[in-house]
Amino acid sequence: MEEKIKVKLLVDLTKYGEGLVPGTEGYTVGRKGVWSKASDNFITVCFPGVETLDVLWKSLEIIDEEYLKKVEEKNKTFEEKLKTAKDITLNLGSYGGFKYLHFTYKDGDINNSYSVGSKKKAEWFLELFNKYGLEVKEVKEK
């Protein structure tokens, strides 16, 4: 799913290749390099006529309209499925700090279990659950 996504460079990478300045456009070619094979934070990007190298995702802006539409549709479908979420637990540490969020939801006849370890991502889910009026149980570790 990561191949041939049109991207734009957000940072200066001229130390890796002449012409790799902010605004340079290219496209992803999968996980070809050492860094991208070892970490989901990187993706191999071809900047035509300049360089092909592993780049941090956060250093790129996706500008591929077709890809962005597919992602938006997929997110809307997922959000609809989240209306069926239950057993939602917000797990907190002994001092009340975020640890993880866990819930189950239905996708047709299939029950899915989902855990979120990122506080920022969990906040998005919690906001959505609040919008849908779903109960969230807080569990504090001792």
Mind listing the pLDDT tens digit for each residue in 17-29? 899 999 999 999 9
- The whole-number pLDDT of residue 2 equals 60
Helix (H, G, I), strand (E, B) or coil at 96: coil
In this structure, whether the domain defined by 3-66 belongs to CATH 2.30.30.140 is answered with yes
What angle is formed at CA 133 by the lines to CA 128 and CA 136, rounded to 5 degrees?
75
* Mean pLDDT of the chain, nearest integer: 93
53-59: long-range pairs with CB below 8 Å, 24+: 53/13, 53/16, 53/17, 55/9, 55/13, 59/9, 59/10, 59/11, 59/13
The model's pTM: 0.71
Digit-coded pLDDT (tens) for 29-45:
989 888 888 888 999 99
Residue 1: is its pLDDT beyond 60?
Answer: no
User: What residue ranges do the domains of the chain occupy?
Assistant: 3-66, 75-140
